[in-house]
Amino acid sequence: MSEEEKENLRLFLKTGLAILTCILLLISAIVYLPKVMPTGAGSAAVWAKKLPIYCVDTQEKKIAISFDAAWGNEDTAQILEILKQNDVRATFFMTGGWMEKYPEDVKAIYEAGHDLGNHSENHKQMSKLSAAQCKEELQKAHEKIRALLGVEMTLFRPPYGDYNDTVITAANELGYHVIQWDVDSLDWKDYGAESIIRTVCGHKHLGNGSIILMHNGAKYTAQALDTLIKNLKEQGYVFVPISELIYTEDYEMDHEGRQHKKTQDLQSGESVLR
């Protein structure tokens, strides 16, 4: 084969590879983009995929600390005392099983002014369930709080942070706001109190409107909590329960799960985010 023929062959292969790459990119765009691109004229933040609330867009230095309660209660009283001493109201997401096992703790949480959140009945992987099964998981836990305290819960955190469109739709139809987090304390990894403090207080996503994830049954959470709260207060943050952080109406979500207050564009009359 002559040098000219070899060069033509190399050129042919390069051209063929470029065409194949373009075809694959086009196929990927057709399959993937409809799931993530915004829909609706004039709005860049109305997303096709349903998302829970990870954090909130706000100009105020407000943040929320939350505790998932699914297993033990050994440190619950200590956590409540630390929150009281620091004048912090938090949000507790509880499973139905935990509520049933520790009703006095549930009452203490409520009487201290903290949010009561639904964490499902049995701590199942919700994305594996049907819509009817999702609703059953929420309703059973919901009825236990209603029977115990006569109150209605409106905040839901899926176990393991596991969700899909079915989970969110089912929760919304039952009047729930689905809540995730943008700052994970990693307290569940049992790395130690200092690790929890460093992880939260120096977290890259920590900012106005952040939601912090912690657990009442983790080994070092109670040890870290007082210093963590004081550090964040020194940074200028004010703690509020999630019910006072999120927007409950006239809001939209961006692709990061950040909740934005919906406002009117005076020129176009369209809804926009601020």
182 is catalytic: no
Per the DSSP assignment, residues forming a β-bridge with 177 are 155
In the three-class reduction of DSSP (H, G, I as helix; E, B as strand; rest coil), residue 116 is classed as strand
In this structure, the number of other CB atoms found within 10 A of the CB of residue 142 comes to: 22
Catalytic residue among 68, 182, 184, 187: 68
Please, which residues bridge with residue 69 across strands?
94
Among residues 119, 142, 215, 260, the one annotated as catalytic is: 215
In angstroms, the CA 186 to CA 182 distance is 12
Cβ atoms of 117 and 153 within 8 Å: the answer is yes
CA distance 11 to 9: 5
250 is catalytic: no
C-alpha–C-alpha distance, residues 119 and 69, integer Å: 8
Count H helices and E strands in the chain, helices first: 9, 12
DSSP annotation string for 138-191: HHHHHHHHHHHHS----EE--GGG---HHHHHHHHHTTPEEB--SEE--GGG--
CA distance 122 to 113: 25
Residues recognised as catalytic = 68, 215
